[in-house]
Structures are given as C-alpha cells and as structure tokens.
Chains A and B, each alone.
Chain A
C-alpha cells in the first residue's frame, strides 16, 4: 500500500476529530463561554497567571508536549504491524487524546487554575495528593531510564553523532552567555547557533567518537546532572531554544520527503495478536503513548496553559489542536519507518537501536529532497537525540525537586540540590544498566497512560459534580485504567517469571526486580486511587440525586 493513504487517514481524523467531535464537546458539554473570566485574567500577576494570545499558546503547548516519545512509540509498536499502530493512533487521539488534554486545561481553568494535585485533594481525597507524589517519582525514574538508554545506544551505535551533540551542548552554553550576559541581539544569536549546530552535524561525519556503553551512559548522566544544577537560563532554556531548529528542519524536510517519495509500505500490515513484548491488548496501547494519549500532557495543560488562556474558547485550539499536531508527528514517524525496511526481519534486527531505525527512515525521506545521504542521516539522528536529551534534562530537574519533597523532611541531607540530583542519577544508572530496555519502555508507557487515566478520573468526577455529560470522559477513563493495569500486571508477572525460570542472570536480576517492583507499585497506586475515586463518584452521584429530588 502506498504511504500516502496513511496521510489520508491522518487528514480524516484531524478534520472530524477537531472540527466535529471536539467542537461538539466544547460547545455542548463544557459550554465554553467567551464571557466567563478565566484565571489568567482574574488572578493576573504577570507570571503564573497571565493571558496570552491563543496562537502563542498553541506554539508553547506543542513545544511542551512534543518530545521523542511520539517518534519512538510508533517505531516500537510496528512489531504488531503498521495497521494496529495506525488504528490505535487514529482512534486514540480521536476519542481520548485531545479530550484528555483539552479537559485537563478546562477543569483546571474552571477551578481557579488549580493544579491536578490540588484538584485531586478537593475532588477525590486528601491522601490522593500524597499518592500522586510517589507515583510521579517512579514515573520520572522510568522516563529517565527509558530515554537514558535510547540516547546512550544512539550515541554508541552511531559514532558520527557524539560530536554534533557536544557541539549542541557547547552552543547552548554560548547562547545562554550571549543572550543573558553579553546581551547580543537574539536574531544574531540564533543565526550563529543554527550555523554552528549544522556545521557540527556536518563535521560529525568526519569526526567519529567511539566509546563503550557504560562510559557513554555516564556522559549522558553528567549531562543530566549539569542541566539539573545549572540555573535554567544558563543551560536548559538556551539548549531547548537553539536545538529545536534542527528538530523542525527534520520534521518539515521529512514530511516533504514523504510526499515527494510516496513510497509503498514495506513492513507487514499485521504480524499477529501476540508477539515478543506481549499480546496486542494491552501492550500496544501502552507502547504508543505520546502522539495518541499521554498523561504528561495533563501536567502541562493544568499547570501552565490553563493559567494563560485568555478566553475559554481558546482551550480547544490550544490544548486540543496541539494534541492533533503531535498526532501528526507520530504518524510521520510511523510512515518513515514502515517504508524503510525490506522486511520484518531487517526491522526486528534494527529495533535494538530505535534511534538507528528513525535515523534510517527519516534520513531516506530527507535524501529524497536532494540532501547528501550522510548529512540527512546525521540530521535525523541528531534530531531524535536532541528531543530525548530535552526530556532527560527536565526529568532530572524534576526528580531533584521530587526527592527533596519526598525525603527532605526525613533525611536532612536530601534537601541539598546536589545530593538530591545524585540520588536520582544513581537510581537511573542502576535501572538502565540492569534493566531490559523494552520492558522499561513499556513500564514507562504504562505509567504515562496511568497518569492519563488518573487525569480522566478527575475530569469524570468534575463533570459529574457539575451535572454535565460525564460519560465522554468516563468511558475513555475505564479503557485507560483497565488497559494500563492489565499491561502493568502482564509485564510484572513476565519479569517475575523470567527471574524464577533462571532466564535472567547477573546484574539483569537487579533490573528485573526493580522493574517488577515499579510495576506492582504503580498497580497498587492505581487501585487505591480507583477506590477513592469510586467513593467520590458515589458521593457526587448521591448529591445530584438529592438535588433532583429537591427540585
């Protein structure tokens, strides 16, 4: 089948999802009111609460939610064939993904811009907030391990990439210095940064850096340490700013390349109901998270975007629209990989290094535009590594804060920023070195989807408490909850079985035990919150019944 047909599916989902279903929910369920004062206007303080134009916020939201996950998820999920992956992407974003992001923003906006921690305290139970904190810590650890491996493997597997990445890090430090200290005009700074980064990518083809996996992993963790410790303006901000140009050059060139090349899909449409990772349900649904539905987005929507929306009508184009845009990135990743291999065997062989798969796929698409093959592949490799490093540098910063919150009161030294960061780095190092990446990725996907399920639980309770049609969120919530818990139980029992049958040896035993423990802990957290949610659901249902009988 020609790859252009997938773009047709993409367009149908976008048009009907965004212009029909999303508009109906916005107008009939939430009844978005342009006259209602939003928290951004009500509590305007110039920083946290500040109205911004919807086009600006759309760009901000897209940049905040789109990372490497919408690319890696579909690449891994191609093991079941491209059809199940495409169907889940299409139906997932249509019925769940955009609704989750949009509802997170709307519910927070209608609750004075409260975060999900505060809303869960109010709507579910006081303990829900504490449980969410523990959940967040393990969620972050799994993200750090999943992406730590992707980056390390990508750098070790392609010796032309470490040099460009060193250049990107150096340019980030330079950009921070030029903008904030030397006060050089941002236009000139941007031009210098882009030239240096692309020159670095080109030079990478001639300057190869080869080292062992462990040394490279330590280098990646040092990067995480530096980004967690340095002030935001010194490293993270300029890194994100200067490197994003490579990412979007890659995406735009890739899209044009796909359209011009319109190659046939070479991977099978469907390979079977059960493969090495596990059965299609529930495992496919946690393998593809971002690009379809991701719990991370609820954090962005509820803590940042909801406090900047100037008008309730802007929530759909900003939060919902950005989700459909991320779906586009995932679809591109799916296409470029499904057309790049001669068959399933070659793809499975390449799967050990997901960065390599994407580099090959997108590199081929960019080559169609006339760029040299070596340069095109380096840009593709640099692009995915930049996206993954963007996540790593934020995750360790978050983990530093979460470590202080969790342990600070009990262990005084944990309040020290360096100690808190090093603790997080050690956990991540142990998990990456001892765990099996495919299982870590699925556990990360499970944690991410569980976060989405929790967000949908809050949305359901809020809609019920306000007498609105709560079923639009409750049905997706049940699906996400059931799927995620089933996936986590499946992975945990698989890890345990591997342990007891003696199929894992040496340090992998530690990784299996950590993975099993994380999976079980996440299931327990999900069940506690589900129980509390059920009690809250009954309470709101009874309240509504009372109101009706009084009337």
Chain B
C-alpha cells in the first residue's frame, strides 16, 4: 500500500511529467532507431518467413533463439501499411 502511495505521489508525478516533457520523445526516437536496426537484421536473416527468398544459413540458426521474441512485432511492423502521416513522424 505504502509502495502504491509512493508510485502515485506528487513527487513521482512531477518526475514523470518532467521525463515525459524533456526526454520521452528523445528516448522513443533512440529506441526506435535501435529496434529498426534489429528489424532490418531480422529481415535479411529470416526474410523467407514473409516470402522474401533469402537462404537460411548457419548464422541465422545461431541467432534464432535471440530473435524469436521479436518475430511477432517484426511481422506486424513490416507488413503493416504505412502512410505519409506515419513517415512524417518517423522522419
């Protein structure tokens, strides 16, 4: 209970607001850049999953356990139609 109070306390709220105001956009952009690199790596190593004929090689298999958790969001990301509004946000 005390923990919950601290979570919702005024000080916490101010800290979260300041983080959101000053840093959230910056953190989001950085995370996006990092994950997109990861997605491009998945694309060139496991592109055959979505029909792009890249031959699976030894290294793909070695990397497979690390990439399995990302397959679902990656497929959604790469197959989702994007329009200019989205590109504007990412540019």
Contacts and interface: CB of A to CB of B under 8 A. Distances in A.
B84 A62 contact: no
A112 B24 CA distance: 22
Nearest to B88: A398
A240 interface: yes
A56 B16 contact: yes
A241 B32 CA distance: 17
Interface in A281-321: 299, 302-304
B77 A60 contact: no
B21 A62 contact: yes
Contact of A47 (B20, B24, B32): B32
Nearest to B21: A59
Contact of A45 (B19, B30, B76): B76
Nearest to A66: B21
A233 B33 contact: yes
A14 B12 CA distance: 24
A118 interface: yes
Interface stretch (A87-95, A399-407, A514-522): A399-407
Interface residues of B, number: 33
Given A46-B31, A47-B35, A400-B91, A60 B84 contact: no
A211 interface: no
Contact of A59 (B19, B33, B35, B83): B19
A400 B90 CA distance: 12
Nearest to A186: B23
Contacts of B3: none
Contacts of B86: 115, 117, 303
A133 B84 contact: yes
B24 A59 contact: yes
A136 B22 CA distance: 27
Interface in B4-30: 13, 16-26, 28-30
Contact of A241 (B20, B26, B83): B26
A507 B82 CA distance: 41
A60 B23 CA distance: 8
B21 A405 contact: no
Contact of A56 (B24, B73, B87, B89): B24
Contacts of A60: 20-21, 24-25
Contacts, number: 110
A53 interface: yes
A58 B25 CA distance: 12
Contacts of B22: 59, 63, 241, 244
Nearest to B24: A60
Q: Which of B19, B28, B31, B86 has the most CB of A within 10 A?
A: B86
B17 A303 contact: no
A298 B3 CA distance: 37
A55 interface: yes
A115 B83 CA distance: 8
A57 B17 CA distance: 8
A59 B26 contact: no
B29 A55 contact: no
Contact of B29 (A45, A232, A400): A232
A436 interface: no
Contacts of A233: 29-30, 33
Interface string A46-75: 111010110111111011100000000000
A136 B74 CA distance: 29
Contacts of B28: 47, 50
Given A47-B32, A117-B85, A303-B86, A64 B25 contact: yes
A463 B76 CA distance: 28
A116 interface: yes
A377 interface: no
A237 interface: yes
Nearest to B33: A233
Contacts of A117: 83-86
B20 A57 contact: yes
Interface in B51-85: 73-74, 76-77, 81, 83-85
A59 B17 contact: yes
B83 A299 contact: no
Interface string A108-121: 00000001111001
B78 to A, nearest CB: 11
Contacts of A121: 83
B34 to A, nearest CB: 9
Contacts of A52: 20, 24
A541 interface: no
B91 A398 contact: yes
Nearest to B86: A115
A48 B77 contact: yes
In the complex, the 3 A-B pairs of residues with the closest C-beta atoms, listed nearest first: A59-B20, A59-B21, A45-B73
17 contacts: A45-B77, A46-B73, A47-B32, A47-B77, A53-B16, A56-B17, A58-B17, A59-B17, A59-B22, A63-B20, A115-B83, A118-B83, A121-B83, A133-B84, A241-B26, A302-B85, A303-B86
